[in-house]
Amino acid sequence: MNTTFKLLISGRILTKSGLVHNFKYSSTAWPFVKDTYINDFKVIDYSKKYDYSKSTHAFHCMVYARMNEQTFTIQRPRGCVLMQMRFDGYLGFPGGLVDPGEDAIHGLNRELEEEMNLDLTKHKVTEKDFIFSQHSSSRNLTLHFYALETTLPELEKIEARVQLAKDYGSEVLGIVRVPLYTMRDGFRGFPAFLTHAFIGSAREQLLHTLQHLKLLTPEEISDALAAKPHKG
């Protein structure tokens, strides 16, 4: 395994319930290696899945559409990405813990239905949507991240259904689009968005997935992280 620019992981996730979930994952865009930490989350190699079998497993998903529209006269985002305001005041992605005895992908889709009112007859996460996983030993928590692609018209229909979700007004306080552009002052837009309060690893899941899906380049992400607000 080239540990600098190539990461290939494949294997099976052992869930709390003992069910397994097969996946393959490759990344050439992000210099993640086995011992890379993001906050206290380590990107993990699932060939060693039994190391994590006693931790809690959570599954989250980014719903997104590729686009090339001119927005607000000068912005031209390459995609529309959904996040949510959570009950605890943090921004995050829909998803959550898998119930005992529940298959991982089934659990994730159930959470998307509960939190977003996602129409599972039209949109459903599958293993091909897997992006990457992380483990925090201090939290005894393993996170698995997926990205579900749709079209912009379909994404608008998904947004329109969110308010009728079972968990809207309790677990979910709103849904927002991530501004995937930087405005002319070099800070407003995506860099400003990154200064919000995000739950757990959500900010890093966003950054990694945007790069993995080529919605932003590594340079654009680095620039956004380094940008400082303009005073005055």
Residues near a copy of itself (CB under 8 A): 71-72, 75, 80, 85, 87-91, 138-139, 156, 159-160, 163, 169-171, 173-179, 183, 188-197, 232
Residue 185 Cβ vs a copy of itself, minimum distance, rounded to whole Å = 9
Residue 181 Cβ vs a copy of itself, minimum distance, rounded to whole Å = 9
Q: Which is nearer to a copy of itself, 106 or 188 (CB)?
A: 188
Helix (H, G, I), strand (E, B) or coil at 170: coil
Q: Which is nearer to a copy of itself, 128 or 228 (CB)?
A: 228
CB 150 within 8 A of CB 158: yes
Q: Which is nearer to a copy of itself, 5 or 174 (CB)?
A: 174
CB 33 within 8 A of CB 43: yes
**Three-state DSSP string of 102-153:** CCHHHHHHHHHHHHHCCCCCCCCCCHHHEEEEEEECCCCEEEEEEEEEECHH
Q: Which is nearer to a copy of itself, 35 or 88 (CB)?
A: 88
Q: Which is nearer to a copy of itself, 97 or 183 (CB)?
A: 183
Of 88, 62, 99, the residue nearest 200 (C-alpha)? 88
Residue 141 Cβ vs a copy of itself, minimum distance, rounded to whole Å = 11
Q: Is 44 left (phi over 0), alpha (psi -120 to 50) or beta?
A: beta
Dist. CA 38–CA 44, nearest whole Å: 11
Residue 162 Cβ vs a copy of itself, minimum distance, rounded to whole Å = 9
Residue 126 Cβ vs a copy of itself, minimum distance, rounded to whole Å = 27
